[in-house]
Amino acid sequence: MITFDANCFLGRWPAGGPTYALVDDLLSAMDRLGIDRSLVRHTLGWQHYPQDGNALLMEQLNGNERLVPCWAALPPITGELGPLDDWLAQLADQNVRAVCLYPQAYGYPLTEWQCGPLLEALAQRRYVLLLETSEVNWEQVHWLCGRYPALRVVLTATGYRVLRQLYALLDAHPNLYLDLSTLANFRGLEEIAARFGAERLLFGTGLPRYDGVGPRTALAYSPLDEAARAAIASGNLTRLLQEVTP
Amino acid sequence: MTPTVKELVQRGESLAALGWRIIDAHGHLGHLGMFYAPTPDAADMVAMMDRLGVQTVCISSHLSIGSDFIRGNDETAQAARRFPGRIKGYVTINARYPEQIEGELRRGVDELGLFGIKLHPGLHDFSVLDPACEPIWRFAQERGLLVLAHTWGGDARCRPAAFGKLAESYPGVRFLLGHSGGVHAGREEAIQVAQAHPNIYLELCSSWLSRAEVEWMAAEVGAERMLFGTDMPFIDPRYTLGRVALANLSEEELRLILGENMARLLM
């Protein structure tokens, strides 16, 4: 079964902790877990400055075919990304098909008046948008998914204590997806697949903050049929990225 | 040729093929209020155990560690009667009800057939160092019982270091530090207190556990005093199983941690 990790980070953390400073560190961890490809974010894109993180990410990935970049973004009003059209052209030129936002870390509200032009542009192109659960609140996720139904919103590191909220959001928004990194509910994988469809779940490790063994083992032992397990392991994310129209 | 535990876990195959005793030292049962847990009843737990190759889970119901430890102990005992050999029960004691401690200990062990004592100082908001807990330790010492206590680094009510003095005062009690302190600072304390006291054991379930921490604890304390536990159905047992079974430890170390140690404690 091919595995494609939707949730991992390259780079150091300000407060220390498990780190892949080098691409080889990440590749070794992927090999140990039997992961074929990874959608990679850079810690600098979250903890320092998106543009610096994106540049370093591309430099470090250096075109490695197993590692797929995900760029961090900011609201375009300040010009920090450069002109929005130019930034979108860079995404297209470098074949970047996933973007992440960190509203909490960068101190802006995830609202229409703040982020509208960026979100509209990403939605028009059906981008995959990764959101760390700790960076947003439920109302923001509800608004975002409803206002931009063409965006594919992936909520990462949800934890296992929020199924009441997640079920309501999954029910309301077919463009919402979850990664498995910390979705450690007892039989949660199987129940979410049964209620909302296996296509709503993406294999994700949270490497290196989490060691990825849990979701890997949960999928290995899952009684879901082979097609559903393959979709979660890699098929869903592969399809979402293919459907982006940069 | 018998496959290794790592091969079985990587392939998602039952550990029954190993012929080992696989015992989950830390489970629960039933619904809980703080979040939605899908299918938390005993039959679903046993079905999951069958899939993984876990023979026995040692439980305390969510009700027992929550609002009503006495009704909760009845739930625990009922599940143990329903699945003999597959589910074993701890008698949970809430030290906030000091007048009921001794009676419930006797009822739990002598009438309900529960095998050990479960304490949750966090949810029940008491300190294990409170004199109100003395009857618990005396009973455990007299009967030679295990005590599984929730532990958490930084929580003065149940930080691992709090168990050092108890372990010294009650050498006949085997103290199982639930979650091994839960967070990194707690694990450091759990390691230190286990190194100092041979009647302290490290139980491993935690949503924060990593494979590297399992290896670290084994290096510092030794596999013979580590116990596989999952928190099922609070969290999914597959997460902890992977972290333990895929740790860089020998087959013998994994055999001890995954059940042999707990089997000896249950004798």
pLDDT digits (tens, 9 = 90+) for B85-101: 999 999 999 999 999 99
Q: Average pLDDT in the B50-78 region?
A: 98
CATH number of B21-266: 3.20.20.140
pLDDT for B115:
97
- pLDDT tens digit string along A20-36? 999 999 999 999 999 99
Alpha-carbon distance A169 to nearest alpha carbon in chain B (angstroms): 15
Q: What is the pLDDT at residue B206? A: 87
Give me the pLDDT at residue A127, please. Answer: 98
Compute the average pLDDT of residues A131-144: 98
The DSSP secondary structure of A25-61, one letter per residue, reads HHHHHHHHHT--EEEEEEHHHHHT-HHHHHHHHHHHH
Chain B CB within 8 Å of residue A188 CB: yes
- Where do the DSSP E strands lie in chain B? 23-27, 56-59, 87-92, 116-119, 146-150, 174-178, 200-203, 226-227
Peptide bond connecting B233 to the previous residue in cis, omega within 30 degrees of 0: yes
Average pLDDT over residues B116-131: 98
Q: Which long-range contacts (CB under 8 A, 24 or more apart) does A15-21 make?
A: A17/A208, A17/A209, A18/A208, A18/A209, A18/A211, A18/B210, A18/B212, A19/A43, A19/A208, A20/A207, A20/A208
pLDDT at position A96 over 90: yes
DSSP secondary structure string for all residues of A204-235: ---BTTS-SHHHHHHHHT--S-HHHHHIIIII
At B202 the three-state DSSP class reads strand
The residue type found at B121 is P
Q: Which of A161, A185, A223 sits opposite B34 (nearest CB)?
A: A161
Phi first, then psi, for residue A135 (nearest 5°) are -95, -5
Residues of chain B with Cβ-Cβ distance to A167 below 8 Å are 36
Per the CB < 8 Å rule, is A213 touching B36? no
Alpha carbon of B203: minimum distance to chain A alpha carbons (Å): 17
Q: Which of B207, B232, B246 sits opposite A182 (nearest CB)?
A: B207
Residue A73: closest CA among A62, A64, A234, A57: A57
Q: How far is A53 from chain B (nearest CA, A)?
A: 27
Q: What is the pLDDT of residue B39?
A: 86
CB nearest B44 (choices: A163, A187, A210): A187
Contacts with B236 from chain A: Cβ below 8 Å: 160, 184-189, 214, 218
Mean pLDDT along residues A162-179: 98
- Assess contact for A164 and A192: CB atoms under 8 A: no
Tokens of B66: 């929550």
Instruction: Tell me the nearest-neighbour CA distance from A195 into chain B, angstroms.
Output: 11
Mean pLDDT of chain A: 97
Structure tokens at B94: 């809430």
Question: With a cut of 0.90, is the ipTM above it?
Answer: yes
Residues B242, A217: C-beta atoms closer than 8 Å: yes
Residue contact B235–A184, C-beta within 8 A: yes
Could you tell me which of A72, A67, A82 has the C-alpha nearest to residue A30?
Answer: A67
Strands B174-178 and B146-150: parallel
Per-residue pLDDT at A55: 98
Structure-token pair, residue A141: 């996720």
The number of beta carbons lying within 10 Å of the beta carbon of residue B79 is: 24
Check residue B245 and give its pLDDT: 97
Beta strands in chain A (DSSP E): 4-10, 37-42, 67-69, 71-72, 98-101, 128-132, 152-156, 176-179, 201-202
Instruction: Report residue B205: phi and psi, to 5°.
Output: -70, 140
- The predicted-structure confidence for B164-212, as pLDDT tens digits, reads as follows 999 999 999 999 999 999 999 999 999 999 999 999 999 999 888 899 9
> How far is residue B211's CA from residue B188's CA, in Å, rounded to a whole number?
15
At residue A90, the 3 state secondary structure works out as helix
**Cβ–Cβ below 8 Å for A188 and B236:** yes
Check residue A47 and give its pLDDT: 96
Antiparallel, parallel or unpaired: β B174-178 and B200-203: parallel
CA distances from A68 to A71, A238, B31 (A): 10, 11, 40
Task: Give the chain B residue whose CA is nearest to the CA of A221.
Answer: B12
Query: Does residue B206 sit at the A interface (CB-CB below 8 Å)?
Result: no
Q: Residues of chain A with pLDDT > 70: what percent?
A: 100
Q: For the purposes of burial, counting CB atoms within 10 Å of the CB of A62, is it exposed (0-12), middle (13-18) or buried (19 or more)?
A: exposed
CB contact under 8 A, B236 and A222: no
Q: Identify which of B207, B236, B242 has the shortest CB distance to residue A216.
A: B242
List the single best residue of B26, B36, B206, B258 to mutate versus A (max A Cβ within 10 A). Answer: B36
Q: How many CA atoms lie within 13 A of A172 on its CB side?
A: 17
Which pLDDT score is estimated for B58?
98
Number of other CB atoms surrounding residue B172 within 10 Å: 12
Contacts of B52 in chain A (CB under 8 A): 221
Sequence-distant (≥ 6) Cβ neighbours of residue A117 within 8 angstroms: A76, A77, A84
pLDDT at position A114, please? 98
Q: Per the structure, how many domains does chain A have?
A: 1
Largest interatomic CA distance in chain A = 50
Spatial distance between the Cα atoms of B137 and B105, rounded to a whole number of angstroms: 11
Q: Could you tell me which chain A residue has the CA closest to the CA of B214? A: A211
Share of chain A above pLDDT 90, in %: 99
What is the tens place of the pLDDT at every residue in A33-91? 999 999 999 999 999 999 999 999 999 999 999 999 999 999 999 999 999 999 999 99
Query: Is A18–B243 a contact, with Cβ atoms under 8 angstroms apart?
Result: no
Give B231 to chain A, closest Cα distance, Å: 9
Look up the CATH number of the domain holding residue A225.
Answer: 3.20.20.140
- Closest CA of chain A from B30, distance in Å: 11
Task: State how far the Cα of B191 lies from the Cα of B229, in Å rounded to an integer.
Answer: 17
Residue of B6, B13, B184, B238 best to disrupt the A interface, most CBs of A under 10 A: B238
Is the per-residue pLDDT at B1 higher than 90? no
pLDDT digits (tens, 9 = 90+) for B11-51: 999 999 999 999 999 999 999 899 999 989 999 999 999 99
Confidence (pLDDT) at B253:
98
pLDDT of residue A79: 95
Q: Which domain holds residue A186?
A: 4-242
Q: Is the pLDDT of residue B2 over 90?
A: no
b/e burial code for range A141-168 (CB count within 10 A of at least 16 → b): bbebbeebeebbbbbbbbbbbbbebbbe
User: Which neighbouring-strand residues pair with B149?
Assistant: B119, B177
